[in-house]
């Protein structure tokens, strides 16, 4: 999801140098940045957002349809997030912020409406997927691919 935000900010919004501060600390458009509670933390060991976290899905989102729920829990392992200063401009340019933390502070999922299947997530769905019980996002991707394939 993070690099999807970077690409979208560059090629749709027009911020040519948009980047994550993890990869380009001096970018003038830090669309991906440290979580707000980690600003100023110098010893970053053990400061990951790690484990299961709740996410509220937008009612009209593809994610909501795939999960069949308004609220889900997914596993995480990261310390960088969507920079909230850029949320409005991403939405003004047709990106859907389809999943948010329950307090609304953290973007958990994004979607592109005019795409057969585009969902980006901060979570790690591979950790909850099984051969006989695929994760809803993987199942949805395969279903979309089969639906849109050319014969």
Question: At residue 45, what are phi and psi to the nearest 5 degrees?
Answer: -60, 130
In the prediction, which pLDDT does 113 show?
A: 87
Kindly state the average pLDDT of the residues 115-141. 92
In the prediction, which pLDDT does 41 show?
A: 52
For 46-114, where are the alpha helices, taking DSSP H only? 62-67, 87-92
In the prediction, which pLDDT does 3 show?
A: 96
Distance (Å, rounded) from C-alpha 125 to C-alpha 118? 15
Torsion of CA 144, 145, 150, 151, to 10 degrees: -100
Write down the pTM of the prediction.
0.87
In the prediction, which pLDDT does 30 show?
A: 98
Does residue 42 form part of some domain?
Answer: no
pLDDT, tens digit, 9 for 90 and up, residues 87-114: 999 999 999 999 999 999 999 999 998 8
In the prediction, which pLDDT does 35 show?
A: 65
Neighbours of 124 (CB within 10 A): 14
8 Å CB contact between 100 and 108: yes
Residue 66 structural domain: 2-36+48-148
**19-28, 38-47, 101-110, 141-150: segment of lowest average pLDDT:** 38-47
In the prediction, which pLDDT does 24 show?
A: 97
Let me know how long the chain is. Answer: 151
Does residue 41 form part of some domain?
Answer: no
List the one residue out of 78, 77, 75, 83 whose CA is nearest residue 107: 83
Does residue 27 form part of some domain?
Answer: yes
Q: How many domains does the chain have?
A: 1
Domain containing residue 15: CATH number: 3.40.50.880
Does residue 43 form part of some domain?
Answer: no
Which residues are registered as beta bridge partners of 81?
33
In the prediction, which pLDDT does 83 show?
A: 97
pLDDT, tens digit, 9 for 90 and up, residues 29-76: 999 998 665 555 555 555 566 678 899 999 999 999 999 999 999 988
8 Å CB contact between 90 and 5: yes
């Amino acid at each position: 999801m993070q690099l999807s935000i970077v690409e979208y900010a560059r090629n749709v919004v027009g911020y040519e140098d948009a980047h994550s501060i993890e990869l380009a600390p001096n970018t003038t458009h830090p669309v991906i940045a440290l979580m707000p509670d980690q600003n100023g933390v110098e010893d970053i060991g053990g400061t990951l957002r790690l484990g299961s976290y709740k996410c509220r899905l937008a009612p009209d989102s593809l994610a909501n349809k795939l999960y069949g729920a308004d609220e889900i829990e997914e596993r995480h392992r990261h310390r960088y997030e969507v920079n909230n200063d850029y949320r409005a401009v991403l939405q003004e340019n047709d990106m859907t912020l389809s999943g948010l933390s329950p307090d609304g502070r953290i973007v958990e999922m994004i979607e592109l409406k005019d795409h057969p299947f585009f969902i980006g997530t901060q979570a790690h769905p591979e950790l909850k997927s099984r051969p006989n019980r695929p994760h809803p996002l993987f199942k949805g991707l395969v279903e979309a691919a089969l639906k849109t394939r050319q014969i």
